[in-house]
Amino acid sequence: MAESARHFFAHDGVFWRRMAALGAQRFPGWWMRYSPPVFGAVAAVALPSARRAVRTNLRRIRGPRPAWRDLLDTTQTFTTYAGCLAETLAVGSKNDVAPDVQVLGREHVRAAVAENRGVVLLTMHTGGWEVAGPMLAEHTRLDVVVVMEGERDVEARALHDKARTTAGVRVIHIGPDPLAALPLVRHLTERKGAAAMQIDRAPPNGRVVRVKLLDRDAELPEGPFRLAQLTGAPLVAVFSERRGFRRYALHAHRARHLPRRASAAELAQAAQGAADDMTKFLREHPTQWFEFRGRE
């Protein structure tokens, strides 16, 4: 019973997702705009393990700071996440308003699209990452699918996926089964579409590539790089930033390529380049990373 309750109230559990959906969809517009920072601050207090994980990541990103600064930045991370969650869950309701999205580095995406080989978009769990799919699709006329690791809370995932689908985000949840990647191969090679894949969380049972991230040893999932190698699609890192209420910026980086017969060294080089892009973004936007899971 205690374990069930812990999962129910976890940061990725159904309780917080239901509360956010209720406020975002049913309450007045002013509530949806101004209450998420309050609930984000409450979550920062109520979820000590997630709070410690965020504080640890902040110290990795920007180095040690006084306790008051750690507290301020940790709380800001939670409140930014709460705002993104509310704005995503409000889609399709009376509080739905199209976000203002700026694409920085648009030329890198356009150059990759012009190759006509599909595009593998490398993303992270950052502020408003879920707007990346529909917004890039709108700006580039690409058929974008978002590839995600399955969440442990099925109810929470179903609730969130419904909002994502309403927003125009096509989501594919994949696990360790290699055959799960076959639809992605066809999506890239036949439809010349784009697959947005998150690289900041290595799957527990999947293959990884070792890199230096934030000046420390880290692991990125191997899947996106193997997919690019197999299909010939360019790799483009696109990280999102929430700048305010319904205001976002997408930061696109220069494309990287892997030959069909890429060596282990070439694959490692591409992964390290992506890790360097991640480090640069996180150094500039330390409170935008929604990594609430503990790391050693």
The answer for residues whose C-beta is within 8 angstroms of residue 216's C-beta and 6 or more apart is 60
Using pLDDT thresholds of 50, 70 and 90, give the confidence band for residue 21.
Answer: confident
The H or E element containing residue 277 is: helix 264-284
> What is d(CA 77, CA 91) in angstroms, rounded to the nearest whole number?
22
> What is d(CA 200, CA 126) in angstroms, rounded to the nearest whole number?
10
Mean pLDDT of the chain: 85
6 pLDDT above the threshold of 80: no
Are the beta carbons of 214 and 279 closer than 8 angstroms? yes
Q: How many residues does the chain have?
A: 296
8 pLDDT above the threshold of 50: no
Per-residue burial over 248-285, b = 16 or more CB atoms within 10 Å of its CB, e = otherwise: bbbbbbebbbbeeebeeeebbebbbbbbebbbebbeeb
pLDDT digits (tens, 9 = 90+) for 245-268: 999 999 999 999 999 999 999 999
pLDDT digits (tens, 9 = 90+) for 111-166: 999 999 999 999 999 998 776 666 666 766 778 888 876 555 566 556 556 656 65
Residues forming a β-bridge with 195: 120, 145
Q: How far is CA 250 from the centre of its chain?
A: 12
Residues 56-66 have a mean pLDDT of 95
Put simply, whether the predicted model's pTM sits higher than 0.75 gets the answer: yes
Query: Looking up tokens 């099925």, which residue turns up?
Result: 154
48 pLDDT above the threshold of 50: yes
> What is d(CA 8, CA 47) in angstroms, rounded to the nearest whole number?
12
